A and B are shown apart, each in its own frame.
Chain A
Amino acid sequence: MSAERDASLPNPTKWLMIGAVGLIIAFVGMFVDSRLASFCYLIGMLFTTSITIGMLFLVMIHHIFDAYWSTIIRRQAENFLAALPWMAVLFIPLFAITYFSGDQGTVWIWMNEDALVHGHKVADDVLYQKKTWWLNEFGPFGFWARTIISFGAWIYFARTFRRNSFSQDGDGKADHTYSSRKHAAGGLVVVALTWSMAGFDWIMSLEYHWFSTMFGVWFFANSMRAALAVLVLVAAFLVAKGPLKGVFNTKHLHDLSTLCFAFTVFWAYISFSQYFLIWNGNIPEETFWYNFREEGMWWGVSMFLVFGHFLFPFLFMLQYPLKTKFPSMVFMACWILFMQLFDIIFNVLPSLKEHHHPVDFIHQPMAILWLVASIVGGIGVLLWAYWTSYYKVKIIPIRDPRIGECLGHNH
């Protein structure tokens, strides 16, 4: 028996249509202004991928700790994992734009050896020459190989956790739990490494002179915040619409909110440390990255991140009454998702240069359209995959060994 399609719950096909419209506009953008539109597309793609990878981390953390309170919401995270193969498909246009637009450096400028960076050709740039062991396109462990390996690993783990969890609904065997736990142990290491690699490749190499060893951790913190915010929204929606009403209680919400809070602090810690070390070291090959992000409108964006992505959520979620109520947490989850998007924009877009300066985004009205279209496209695909999976399986893992404890969760 699967969850009944209730008329009050969303229709997956509708989300696919919305996503398709967004993606089509985004693809049109790639023909109009290929560089700007591909950067916007990259942002939309990173935003949705980071949500699904955050879900993958949450499922693995649940299994490795043999946790019980999160059993009730784990199934929704597993539903989101259904989107991972589609995230890989969403990456293909970025490959296409690199090799079929006439300029291989459209997105990742180092892929075009003739592109000019700080007045030098990439091929003559000693910093590039020293980094070619990592920054190469088709080497056996080059950029595209790494991308394929990463997506392969994520899809493998996503499928394993989904299969274990769904088969357990049928036969109730504890073996599935043990299998998931073992996969979580290996998966945490593999996904942590591959997700860091993705951060280095997809975002950091946009500006390949720059480097930060903390970047992978920042990417992890970012994805966890996004995934937790989405889980809060999903839980609130399913409680309001009925399926989880009376099952998902405020204690579960409190635990979820507390994790949101913890990762708010973690994100601040990582982001501050990265800035602080670069500020303190004061080496030009590191500081230029932040200097660009203090120019023009980006100064406002960085200040907005400090106060909007850290201080406000921190003070908000410091308060117990706000953490245990659905309306306040729904607001906070929306806020965090919005700010998380800003964070990705902040990390990606200023790497797009015009006359050696970051593109002034605000004065490019079309850019907003490409950005919104890319995000709507990604979200549409994500929610289509989620709701399709949702209707195929039960709302909670009913035969999980920990589900009894979880439902009685009262402290």
Chain B
Amino acid sequence: MADKFGILAKFDTPADIMHAAEKVRDAGYKSWDVITPFPIHGMDAAMGLKRSWVPRFTIVGGTTGFITGMSMIFFTNAFDYKILIGGKPLFSPMFAFPVSYELTILFSAFASIAGMFILNKLPMHYHPALKVDNVAEMSDDKFFLYIETEDPQFDEDKTRSFIEGLHPVEVTDMEK
């Protein structure tokens, strides 16, 4: 099958898939994933996932927001159209602060959401898992794991026997 995407294994319980994920991680596979109906605590470590890069987007967004707030107040009040209010200085970080910190939060939130989308390659309108017959079980009560053919270690026979060695209840091929 030339247009094969990977091999899919089905498990019955969260514990089974957790142990299976640990073995796949230890076997050194890179292009693989787990599909579960709900988040399983500890799965990150079982899959060997590193910490997300989203916080880096957040800090960039937050810093941008803060600088935007400060410079916006400076530009409008002390530069573009000078207004003297209540004998206060034309510019002071004091009154620019509420605006800056609101923008810090707003931009951090935007950056986090955007970062999450980018890192997850969203929006993703099609994924080979959608073609699998038991796709409904993926959001119900079964737990799935697949290894892609793209993986440098992927070998039709070896990978299949490796996956069968994980004691899944069912092993199927996934089409692209």
Bound together, the chains give a CA A282 to CA B42 distance in angstroms of 54
A211 contacts which chain B residues (CB < 8 A)? none
Q: Decide yes or no whether A95 CB sits under 8 A from chain B.
A: no
Residues of A261-306 at the interface with B, using a CB-CB cut-off of 8 Å, are 272, 275-276, 279-280, 282
B48 contacts which chain A residues (CB < 8 A)? none
Q: Are A272 and B41 in contact (CB under 8 A)?
A: no
Q: Decide yes or no whether B97 CB sits under 8 A from chain A.
A: yes
Q: Decide yes or no whether B94 CB sits under 8 A from chain A.
A: yes
B97 contacts which chain A residues (CB < 8 A)? 272, 276
Number of A-B contacts (CB under 8 A): 19
Q: Decide yes or no whether B95 CB sits under 8 A from chain A.
A: yes
Q: Are A276 and B86 in contact (CB under 8 A)?
A: no
Nearest B residue to A276 via CB reads: B94
A411 contacts which chain B residues (CB < 8 A)? 41-42
1/0 per residue A73-85: CB within 8 Å of B?
0000000000000
Nearest A residue to B62 via CB reads: A318
Nearest B residue to A279 via CB reads: B94
Name the distance in Å between B134's Cβ and chain A's nearest Cβ.
28
Nearest B residue to A315 via CB reads: B59
Known A318-B59, A320-B55: A410·B41 in contact at CB below 8 Å: yes
Q: Decide yes or no whether B28 CB sits under 8 A from chain A.
A: no
Q: Decide yes or no whether B128 CB sits under 8 A from chain A.
A: no
Q: Are A276 and B98 in contact (CB under 8 A)?
A: yes
Interface residues on B, range: 10 to 19
Bound together, the chains give a CA A190 to CA B28 distance in angstroms of 58
A276 contacts which chain B residues (CB < 8 A)? 94-95, 97-98
Q: Decide yes or no whether B51 CB sits under 8 A from chain A.
A: yes
Q: Are A410 and B42 in contact (CB under 8 A)?
A: yes
Q: How many residues of A contact B (CB 8 A)?
A: 10
Residues of B91-142 at the interface with A, using a CB-CB cut-off of 8 Å, are 94-95, 97-98
Bound together, the chains give a CA A276 to CA B42 distance in angstroms of 45
Bound together, the chains give a CA A242 to CA B59 distance in angstroms of 37
1/0 per residue B35-54: CB within 8 Å of A?
00000011000000001000
Name the distance in Å between A10's Cβ and chain B's nearest Cβ.
36
Name the distance in Å between A274's Cβ and chain B's nearest Cβ.
12
- Cβ contact of B95, chosen from A280, A320, A410, cutoff 8 A: A280
Residues of B76-98 at the interface with A, using a CB-CB cut-off of 8 Å, are 86-88, 94-95, 97-98
Nearest A residue to B92 via CB reads: A279
Name the distance in Å between A17's Cβ and chain B's nearest Cβ.
47
Bound together, the chains give a CA A280 to CA B96 distance in angstroms of 12
A280 contacts which chain B residues (CB < 8 A)? 94-95
A275 contacts which chain B residues (CB < 8 A)? 94
B87 contacts which chain A residues (CB < 8 A)? 282
B86 contacts which chain A residues (CB < 8 A)? 282
A-B CB proximity, top 9 nearest: A411-B41, A279-B94, A410-B42, A410-B41, A276-B94, A320-B51, A272-B97, A282-B86, A320-B55
Residues of A near any B CB (own CB < 8 A) = 272, 275-276, 279-280, 282, 318, 320, 410-411
